[in-house]
């Protein structure tokens, strides 16, 4: 079965092997050496002033960001399940929350953000997804961050990059906190989250907030290549293997080029079948199709063609399907996925099978469309 859900993504064989070794004690020079190397790679990936790893799923890092960087009112962008989560985190911690809510296919308007910031002087942090995985939507985070900083440079910009870090280059000039999670573009099992932080963010958090999720105490330790509490040793060993593999295969810049090419090839292949792309602005992490037969296509993909893709949640349940494009993906696997979608449409009697999806995918991927 090919796993093509936009998280979890498949873990490469060499990474599984690396994680199969004996358990290591975390307070040893051996593990500290691994931690140090991993940190170096993370600085290269995040391009932020500081990076910190925590043993939690992605949501733990979202919570850490909100509690450490927001003291009064969080402005959150809700165009999907994950954007909604930021608001819920703020409320759970007794912070005030202002939300800009849109349909799940609609990117946030920068004017709406500017108006909200101008209307409420208590807003001290903004939380937004770079790639909102609920609908496969790309928000204009870099532009938003720049516009906000021009009004008030003290407002903290929290960017959830859980399906964006390792997918496409992100300009972190005006971003104070950039979040990644292990089981998406980083091709690891779930359980490790990473935050990239600006010096301004570190200054804002002071001695930090909370206990386990106190980022200030964690940073203090991680600068010395250790952790405040037991490190997720196995996942960090896996992360180092992933980051070294990316390096060996041409580096992150090459990964970004390959991912955007794959994203364009999949999108064009499926559009050529007459399918409709759901988001107004697609993230590079996944292709999301809205379709009356979305549920049937998803089931057929699994039962007849050994392809596992994701569906939708809440009001989009049974209405969309989402195909992953993150990570180191073999072209022959991706080509099979778009071909399998075409075969499903033929089975449903919607079009005669003629290999269009496979042809277009290959033409774009191998530059034969020019
Ligand atoms: C998966 C995901 C999360 C949540 O991560 P968990 O690991 O499930 O806690 C948050 N934001 C985005 C954009 C995601 O794709």
Q: Which amino acid residue places its CA nearest to atom 3 of ligand 1?
A: 58
Residue range 248-275: mean pLDDT, rounded: 98
User: How far does residue 177's CA lie from ligand 1's centre (Å)?
Assistant: 15
User: How far does residue 358's CA lie from ligand 1's centre (Å)?
Assistant: 31
Spatial separation of the C-alpha atoms in residues 186 and 166, rounded to whole Å: 7
User: How far does residue 34's CA lie from ligand 1's centre (Å)?
Assistant: 26
- Site to substitute for ligand 1 among 76, 79, 81, 82, most atoms within 8 A of C-beta: 82
Question: Which band of pLDDT confidence, cut at 50, 70 and 90, is reported for residue 369?
Answer: confident
In this prediction, residue 249 carries a pLDDT of 97
User: How far does residue 40's CA lie from ligand 1's centre (Å)?
Assistant: 24
Q: Is 129 in the pocket of ligand 1 (CB under 6 A)?
A: yes
Per-residue pLDDT of 310-337, as tens digits, reads 999 999 999 999 999 999 999 999 999 9
Question: Which band of pLDDT confidence, cut at 50, 70 and 90, is reported for residue 362?
Answer: very high
In this prediction, residue 79 carries a pLDDT of 98
Output the six-digit token pair for 63. 């919570």
CA 327 → CA 11, 18, 357, distances in Å?
Answer: 9, 18, 21
Residue 219: is its pLDDT beyond 90? yes
Residue range 292-304: mean pLDDT, rounded: 98
- Residue 100, sorted as left (phi over 0), alpha (psi -120 to 50) or beta, turns out to be beta
Nearest to 321 by CA among 306, 302, 304: 302
pTM, two decimal places = 0.98
In this prediction, residue 109 carries a pLDDT of 98
The CB density around residue 369, as the number of other CB atoms within 10 Å, is 12
What domains, with CATH codes, occur in the chain?
Answer: 8-248 (3.40.640.10), 251-365 (3.90.1150.10)
């Amino acid at each position: 079965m090919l796993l093509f859900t936009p998280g979890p993504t498949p873990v490469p064989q060499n990474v599984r092997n690396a994680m199969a070794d004996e358990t290591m004690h975390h307070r040893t020079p051996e593990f500290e050496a691994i931690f140090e190397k991993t940190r170096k790679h993370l600085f290269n990936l995040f391009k932020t002033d500081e990076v910190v790893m925590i043993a939690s799923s992605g949501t733990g890092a979202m919570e850490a960001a909100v509690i450490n960087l927001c003291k009064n009112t969080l402005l959150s962008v809700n165009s999907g399940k994950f954007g909604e989560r930021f608001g819920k985190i703020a409320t759970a911690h007794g912070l005030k929350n202002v939300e800009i809510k849109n349909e799940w296919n609609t990117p946030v308007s920068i004017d709406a953000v500017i108006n909200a910031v101008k209307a409420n002087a208590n807003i001290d942090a903004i939380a937004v997804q770079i790639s909102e995985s609920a609908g496969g939507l790309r928000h204009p985070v870099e532009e938003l961050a720049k516009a906000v900083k021009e009004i008030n440079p003290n407002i903290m910009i929290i960017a959830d990059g859980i399906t964006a870090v390792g997918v496409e280059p992100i300009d972190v000039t005006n971003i104070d906190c950039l979040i990644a999670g292990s089981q998406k573009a980083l091709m690891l099992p779930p359980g490790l989250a990473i935050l990239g932080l600006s010096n301004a963010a570190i200054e804002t958090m002071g001695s930090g907030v909370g206990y386990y999720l106190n980022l200030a105490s964690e940073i203090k330790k991680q600068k010395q290549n250790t952790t405040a509490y037991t490190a997720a040793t196995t996942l960090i060993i896996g992360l180092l293997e992933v980051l070294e593999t990316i390096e060996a295969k041409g580096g992150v810049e090459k990964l970004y080029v390959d991912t955007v090419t794959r994203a364009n090839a999949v999108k064009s292949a499926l559009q050529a079948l007459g399918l409709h792309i759901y988001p107004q602005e697609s993230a590079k992490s996944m292709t999301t199709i809205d379709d009356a037969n979305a549920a049937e296509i998803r089931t057929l993909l699994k039962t007849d063609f050994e392809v596992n893709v994701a569906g939708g949640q809440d009001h989009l349940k049974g209405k969309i399907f989402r195909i992953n494009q993150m990570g180191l993906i073999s072209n022959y696997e991706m080509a099979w996925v778009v071909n399998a979608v075409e075969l499903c449409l033929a089975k449903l009697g919607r079009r005669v099978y003629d290999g269009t999806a496979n042809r277009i995918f290959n033409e774009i991927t191998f530059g034969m469309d020019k």
